[in-house]
Structures are given as C-alpha cells and as structure tokens.
Chains A and B, each alone.
Chain A
Amino acid sequence: MEIFHIGGKSGKLAAVFSPAQGRSKRTGVLICNPLGHEYIRFHKALAVLAKELSQSGFNTFRFDYYGSGDSYGEDLELNMETSNNDLRLVIEEMLDGCEIDNICLIGVRYGTIPCFNTLDHPDVKSAVLWNPVLSGEGYLGELEHNHKEFISGSFAVCKNDYGFESLGFLYSPELVKGLKEFSMVSSEAVPLEKLLIIADDEFLQMNALERYSCFSKTGITLLTNSVPKFWHKQKGETDKSIVPFPEIKQIKKWLNGIQ
C-alpha cells in the first residue's frame, strides 16, 4: 500500500494505492468515496474493499476529493465539477502508473455521481454503483432530513446560517446547485460494458433500474445490500457493523467474474 498526494500545486489529492498482489489483472479499480458523515461511515469499509481487491490481483486506487478527507481544500471548495475533475485526474494517474488495460469505477453514495459522469471515459469499461444517488434533489432531501432528525434529538444547536449544513459538514452552494440539477435516470444511455448495482431491497423494488434509459445499453447486475441504509446508523441498529463484508465479497466476486 502506498499513500501519496497527487495533482498540481493547487489541487493536491490524498490517494491510497493498493497494488495488485500476485498476478496482476488487466482491470484497475478506482473507488469514489461518499461525502460528509457517510464518508466517515464508509471509510473503513472502503479501505477493506481496496485491500481485498488488491489481494485478488486488482490494482486499486482510492482517493479523497479536493475539499474532503485528507485532501487539500475546504468543505466549501468541493462541488460536482471539482469532483469530476479529480476523478479524471486520478484515472490518468492510474493509466500512467499501472499496467492495466481498463478501469472499473466503484462509486458509493455521492461517489456514484462523479462515477456516473465519467462512464464515457474511453478506458472505463465497467462500474459498480453501491447505493447509487439517482436524484441529487432526493439526496439533498435525505441529508436535510437526517440532519434535522439528529439535531432535534440532541444537544446540538445550529446557530449560524453557514449555508447547507448536514451532520457536521457544509455543502457549498455550487455543490447544492449541481446536485439539484443531477438526475441519473433522465441521463442518456451510458456506453458501459458491465455494471453492478448494489442497493437496498426497498430501493431496488421502487426503481426498475434495468428499464431506465441510462442503463439501456449496459449489461446490468443487481444485488441487494445485506444491511439497509448502512450509511446512516440509528438507535438499536447493532447489525450495522463497521465493515459490510457481504457486499465486499459480492463486489470481489462480480469483478473476478467479469475478467
């Protein structure tokens, strides 16, 4: 495992590279993080996922968007455009540094958005959307609801209006605007060979994803989360362990299967 900064002077991104163990596969994997408190919830899970995939022979990258995690930049400097640019930068870094033929993007929650927006990259041949955000508007609504729910039941009081605030994080006006305009389902068909979507059973029942035009040209596999809403732990939810191993195994199995 190597940890380093990538990017120019103004946009240093913290990245973690888990090199393939044993015989290297021709597909490299790039993990796109969630945001805010969901990033904190998923951090260990995605570190474990990267480790597992590297042990299966995949060169695996994960990184923090500019303005998140250990990367340079502040919360309010992050928006969808910067995230998309960050992802493309890391893709180029991977293609330069690894002996791979193509890339599989794994997006989680917010990470499914830059991931989806980058599926037109000629070297991206497959993707995993784990708990995809189909509508930015709906995602914002969920963030807002969860924040209000938490604040109303805690000692915390949000005194100043710093903008869109949810569970300890600020979301820039540009990000909020971008999210409001984002809709995966109304997008054009993505030119992707293979796609895995992992989501809650309720989500999959409500959304007939295989019938959406955006996925009409894609070989799509749907799998169900072992624990619903893993990203938001609430009272008594002891089954929400730190690392959702069943989903990690599913992703590993699917990736091995498409090689």
Chain B
Amino acid sequence: MKEEIISLDQLSVTGILTYAEQSGNLPAVILFNAGLVHKTGPNRLYVKIARSLAAAGYTVFRFDQGGQGDSLVNTDLPGGQRDDYVVLIKILDMLIKKTGAGAFILGGLCSGAEKAYRLSFLDARIKGVIMINGSGLEPEYIDQVYPAASSAIRKRYYKKAISEPSKWLKVLKGKSGVFRNMKISSFLQGGGRPQAEIENLPGKKVTSQGLQPREGISLLLVVAEGCTAYDLLCTVYGKDNKGISGTDYVFMPDTDHIISPVSSQLKLQEIVLTWLNRNFVQQLTSSSIYDSDQ
C-alpha cells in the first residue's frame, strides 16, 4: 500500500492519495468531507474505504479543503470563499498526472454525498457517484418535509426499540439517543441536515421528483437505518423507498448515520467495492450483496 500526501493551491487542498495496488485502468475515486469531519472520515471510515479499494485496484483521493481539517483558507479568493468546481478540476488534473486515470467516481457521506452528486453533473469524465447517507434532494424541499421525516425516524426507532429491552428502557426514561442524534451535528453520531453546506454548490439541483443522475453516470445510494435521509427519500419514493429506480439503492440495517459499528463499516466497504466492480470492471463475478441487504 502506498499513500502520498498531496497539497494543492497553497495548502487550501490537502489530501491523501492512496494508490491502486495493481494497475487495471479503473476509475479513480474522490471522497468529499463528511460534514465537518476531516479527511479521515467519521470513524476513520474514509481511510478504511480508501485502503480496501486500493487493494482492489482503485486509486482513491480523500482531502480537506478551504480551511477544513488540515487545509488552509485560500486567500486568493475573495473572503476565502470556496469554489468546489474549480477545486474538483484541479484534483482531476492532479489525478490524471499522477495516475493516468481517465475516469472518476465521486463519493462521500452526508454532505459529502450531496456534494459528490451535484458536482457529477459538471464534468463528463465523472462516471459514477457513491452517495452514503445523502438524499440528493434540494434544500428547499428538505425544509418542507424535514418535520415529517423527523417524526418518521422517531417512530421507526420506537418500533425497533420494542424488540430490544435496553433501548426500550431508555425510551421509557426519555433518554433515547435518537433525539440526541437529531439535535447534534452530523459529524457526531447524528443525521443532521446537510443543506446548509450544499446550498451554494454548483451543479444540477434536483427536485422532489428524486434522484436523476446525468446520463452515463452510475449511482450508488447507500442509506443507513439510523439516518434521516431514509425518511426524506421515503417522502419521494414511498414506503421503504421502493420507488427508487435508475439508482443502485442499498439499505443498511442496524447502523447509524456515521456507520459506527465496525461490522457495518466492513459491510459498507464490501458494498462499495462490489458496486464499483460490477459497474467498472468487465467480466466480474456476480455478488449477492445487494440482495442480502434489501
């Protein structure tokens, strides 16, 4: 395994490039910050994903940008503002130069998922999007349906808690963490609204009609049971999100917004790798991973 520290634009982009362990002309994967968490990702999840993908032949770049994590604010831009599209192009150029990659996958968790989705409309070299606990819904729509989604996740929690005495007792005592989760920032164990971070992003905004990836883009949408994105999506796609089409949708039970259980982290790595291989490696052996999760 080889990793290289990469700095661009006077340290306004600082990241780790994890090189593919074997060359196979596979697309390079770019991971965007999950909320305010720096480039390791919550629970060091991005490190784990990057290394598991690199072992399978994918180069991965995870990074901090514009004052986040280890990066500095770009003082060349007025007010230190960030231009995500300009940054993306610089990253693509760097990856082409370093690895010769010709195609790219954008991915992320929470607001990182939203950013990946929106930026995917802006460059034809982007061939896939990995959205973990994102919805792709526009902020205005989320504002409208968020109260209903909040109520829905509470109901789901109570339903789940009935079968587990420890959770059940907590509900009775009014100490249920599900409420706590919804009140804290998404970089902790919660599922807050990421729209504040994505409102000014360039790229196509979707409507309540749901996810509409650009033609030629494969999209993986992974949603954890403990994430409000599930309930937000249900307002568009109906019960259990059965109406989702044109997107590879994976529901991950028994996990929270930031994928805390180690078993879920391993599962997520497997889901992402299987999806990438299915879509970007020819003559791939099929896997039943999606079937087992739905």
Contact = CB atoms under 8 A, between A and B. Distances in A.
Contacts of B177: 149-150, 152-154, 235
Interface string B91-103: 0000000000000
Interface in A99-134: none
B289 interface: no
A40 interface: yes
Contacts of A168: 42-45, 258-262, 265
Interface stretch (B53-61, B181-189, B205-213, B279-287): B181-189
Interface of B: 1, 3, 5, 7, 11, 14, 16, 36-40, 42-45, 47, 69-70, 72, 156-157, 160, 166-167, 170, 175-181, 183-184, 187-189, 224-226, 254-256, 258-265
Interface residues of A, number: 42
B7 A153 contact: no
B260 A150 contact: yes
Interface of A: 1, 3-5, 12, 14, 16, 37, 40-41, 43-44, 47, 68-70, 72, 75, 149-160, 162, 165, 167-170, 233-237, 242
B267 to A, nearest CB: 9
9 contacts: A1-B72, A154-B178, A154-B256, A156-B256, A168-B45, A168-B259, A168-B260, A169-B262, A235-B184
A3 B38 contact: no
Contact of A170 (B14, B70, B157, B262): B262
Contacts of A1: 11, 70, 72
Contacts of A47: 69-70
B262 A69 contact: no
Nearest to B182: A235
Question: What's the dominant secondary structure at chain A's contact region?
Answer: loop
Contacts of B255: 155-157
A153 B40 contact: no
Which of B16, B40, B259 has the largest count of A CB atoms less than 10 A from its CB? B40
Contacts of A162: 262-263
Contacts of A70: 3, 5, 16, 39-40, 47
A158 B259 CA distance: 11
Nearest to B10: A1
